[in-house]
Structure 1
Amino acid sequence: MLPPLPQRSPSVLALDDPAAITRIGVIALATDLTSERDFARGLPLERAALHVARVAFANPTTLDNLRAMGPKLTECTALLPPDVPLAAVCYSCTSASVTLGDREVAAAIRAARPGMPVVTPSAAARAAFGALGVTRIAMLTPYLPETSGPMEVYFTDHGFSVVNHQCLGMADDQEMARVSPATIMDAALAVDRPEAEALFLSCTALPALDVIAALEDRLGKPVVSSNQASLWALLGLAGLEPRVGPPAPAGFGQLLSRPVPLSVFL
């Protein structure tokens, strides 16, 4: 039998203030290779922590497969650290948020976390366009046409004019995560139109953060991506500044210098 271990006196045990770290929850697809990295790059990690739960998902990114995540969101949210305050929860899938509905996603998350501020990339993009003062957008998606079509309907139904829309015709979100910066740049420049006031790069799987600043320089207009808009909303809800700045992390675009309309996510 092992000898008993000596026990330290409780007088030397000190715990940090739980409020010293602002905690943010993310629900990522099981197949997601991009969201965690993108969010971590912009969060001030000395004062913030990212907690991720994965929801079951299987490629291809068809509407039926996206809808299948809906009934799983409440149970998945419950896997985030229990009894720990979170500043907000983000469901990190643009096409599924559009397919399921922003309100329905928020309701499913709040069934496990009542009163929680909820960010969807689609609602974050709408809020971003409002903060940037634009209504006419060009849109690039990596999805299949059947998944891309509802994206255009979504923004049109919310009062935006989609002046041009192109998709890359991809079915696998893990392949979307490997699209090269040069490919994103070329496709984004091709989809832009002079009458578009901003460019939207949809999909949380798409590694678009590194090209945003270059695109804004080339186009002379704002560029919004799914992860950039979600990060912007999460920072605002958490009362945090981006890790690098001001006014925004290098390459993350002008959006991060704009105030977040918090009521959109509450």
Structure 2
Amino acid sequence: METEIPAMLRAREMTAPERFTFHSSRMRMKNVTKEELAAMDADSDRCALELSDARVDVLGYACLVAIMSMGVGYHRVSEARLHQRTMENGGPAPVVTSAGALVDGLKIIGAKKVSLLAPYMKPLTKLVIDYIEHEGIEVVDSISLEIPDNLEVGRQDPMAPVEITKKLNTANVDAIVCSACVQMPSLPSVQPIEDRTGLPVISSSVATTYQMLKKLGLPTGIPGYGALFSGKY
């Protein structure tokens, strides 16, 4: 997220007047396990306070699986609680979770059936699938890269999803999720996969950026980053 969201916003600056600053506060997590994810989520209140000190206009919670591993529908609980923390700190700002953004983004493009790529161990991917399906979207197929080390996830080739997604069953799906994880880079793969398959392609970071722009009340057209940024939505 710390590379891909600024990349999308900078691309938007080429055709739109708004300018953006980017601020981050870190929740600690080294290995992508359910236990570390729960501890990480507990740290999110501190991060919301620190960022609201800067009087930011919108907050993005950058860990999809941390939210989804806390139980179905948890993104609504998290977003409301963290927004409350910003209000208590005198710097009220809306909160977008990547988990909620991915689900909402799929709904916005009308996806009822999807196939997805994730870096997680298979049990965590199953949690993600269950979470998405609880929101009324069927996951037809998935690939788990089974990388437990969070830094290693971030070191993956951002163009790798172009080839990996060729192994997904995409027959009769409405969309492809080329990275169900904001730590796994995939931004330059989004448009090539969409061009190859003719299907809408979305990633967690694309969905998060889209929702942040919506919360800011700004137009969402950014050429070259898939259907969600086509300007239709």
Using the size of structure 1 for normalisation, the TM-score is 0.76
**Structure with greater strand percent:** 1
Q: 1:182 to 1:256 in 2, by over 3 A?
A: closer
Match of 1:207 in 2: 185
Secondary structure at the counterpart of residue 148 of structure 2? coil
Report the Cα offset of residue 173 of structure 1: 1.9
Cα distance in 1 for residues equivalent to 2:132 and 2:231: 21
Of 27, 34, 38, 1:63 maps to: 34
Change (3 A) 1:48 1:156: same
- Which residue does the alignment assign to 2:75? 102
**Equivalent residue runs for 1:117-266 within 5 Å:** 117-200=94-177, 201-241=179-219, 247-250=221-224, 252-258=225-231
Aligned structure 1 segments of 4 or more residues deviating by more than 3 angstroms: none
Computing the radius of gyration from Cα coordinates, the structure with the larger value is 1
Query: Residue 258 of structure 1: CA displacement?
Result: 4.6
**Paired residues, what number?**
219
Aligned to 1:42: 8
> SS of the residue aligned with 1:78?
helix
- 2:51 maps to 80
- Cα distance in 2 for residues equivalent to 1:161 and 1:220: 19
Q: What's the RMSD between the two structures over aligned residues? A: 1.9
After TM superposition, give the deviation of residue 259 of structure 1 in Å: 6.3
Give the SS at the match of 1:55: coil
Q: For each residue in 1:15-36, what CA deviation from the matched residue of structure 2 results, as whole angstroms up to 9, or x when unmatched?
A: xxxxxxxxxxxxxxxxxxxx11
- Report deviation, 1:183: 2.7
Describe the shift of the 1:83–1:232 C-alpha distance in structure 2 as closer, same or farther (beyond 3 A).
Answer: closer
Stretches of structure 1 that go unaligned for 5 or more consecutive residues are 1-34, 261-266
Amino acid at match of 1:117: P
Shift of 1:118: 1.5
Q: Label 1:80 to 1:257 Cα distance change in 2 as closer, same or farther (>3 A).
A: same
Q: Contact 2:176/2:200 (CA < 8 Å) preserved in 1?
A: yes
Q: Report the alpha carbon displacement of residue 182 of structure 1 after superposing the two structures with TM.
A: 4.5
Counterpart residue identity of residue 19, structure 2? R
Secondary structure at the counterpart of residue 223 of structure 2 = coil
Task: Tell me, yes or no, if the aligned pair for 2:160 and 2:186 is still in contact at 8 Å.
Answer: no
CA distance in 1: counterparts of 2:147 and 2:231, whole angstroms: 32
How many Å separate the matches in 2 of 1:234 and 1:107? 15
Superposed, which structure 2 residues align to 1:12-23 within 5 Å? Answer: none
The answer to whether the 8 A contact 1:62-1:146 is kept is: no
Q: Give the fraction of aligned pairs with identical amino acids, expressed as a percent.
A: 25
- Provide TM-score, normalisation by structure 2: 0.87
Instruction: Quote the Cα distance in structure 2 between the aligned partners of 1:72 and 1:188.
Output: 33
In the alignment, the residues of structure 1 paired with residue 96 and residue 175 of structure 2 have an alpha-carbon distance, to the nearest angstrom, of: 21
Change (3 A) 1:259 1:125: farther
**Which of the two has greater helix per residue?**
2
- Distance in 2 (CA, whole Å) between partners of 1:112 and 1:64 is 24
- The letter of the residue matching 1:253 is G
d(CA) in 2 for partners of 1:107 and 1:241? Answer: 24
Q: Describe the shift of the 1:111–1:72 C-alpha distance in structure 2 as closer, same or farther (beyond 3 A).
A: farther
The equivalent residue for 2:24 is 52
